[in-house]
Amino acid sequence: MHPDSVLTAAQLIGGLAASARNALDLVKASSDHALKASVSELYDSVLDVKARVLDLDQENRELRAALAKKDEVIGPEEPHGYFFFKDKPEQPLCPKCWQSQPKNPVFLSPLTTLDGGQYRSCIICRYDNYETPRTHSPEPVIIGRRSIFAQGKGYF
């Protein structure tokens, strides 16, 4: 539904609510209890519809904002599966954080060289990706935090 349509619907419901309120005020002078109950029930129903229309209008605005935000990002782009903001195509977003729920736009680190290879990493989720494989490494290299066992000098 187009925002103008929702606004028009909200205006129509508002006018209907005002008319129902006028009818309720007029019927208060009447001694017909059944008529009073019917008009009061109608008024309550109109207020329920008005609240629902306003809720739908708010939801529509939020969805449009999310859709506009989604259009700001491109990806996943080959060969590494990175996502990018259209206005920052040189700064990749962490694909793991971006695809999480809720989306978390976290930039990956600049290219870092290690053992002849180049990689980027995420400081939030610890995602690591070698864009260029390591060419030489005498022993395996662990990227990330050191284990608690490697930090101590004594035995546990």
pLDDT in tens, 2-22: 555 555 777 887 788 888 888
Stronger pLDDT, 16 or 1, i.e. the higher one: 16
Best CA proximity match to 13, nearest among 57, 43, 53, 40: 53
Residue 154's pLDDT is what?
46
pLDDT over 70 percentage in the chain: 81
CA 5 to chain centre: 24
Residue 72's pLDDT is what?
85
Stronger pLDDT, 155 or 103, i.e. the higher one: 103
Residues 57-98 have pLDDT tens digits of: 889 888 988 887 777 888 888 888 898 998 888 899 999 998
Task: Report d(CA 94, CA 82) in Å as an integer.
Answer: 7
Q: Which two tokens stand for residue 89?
A: 């195509």
134: DSSP letter: -
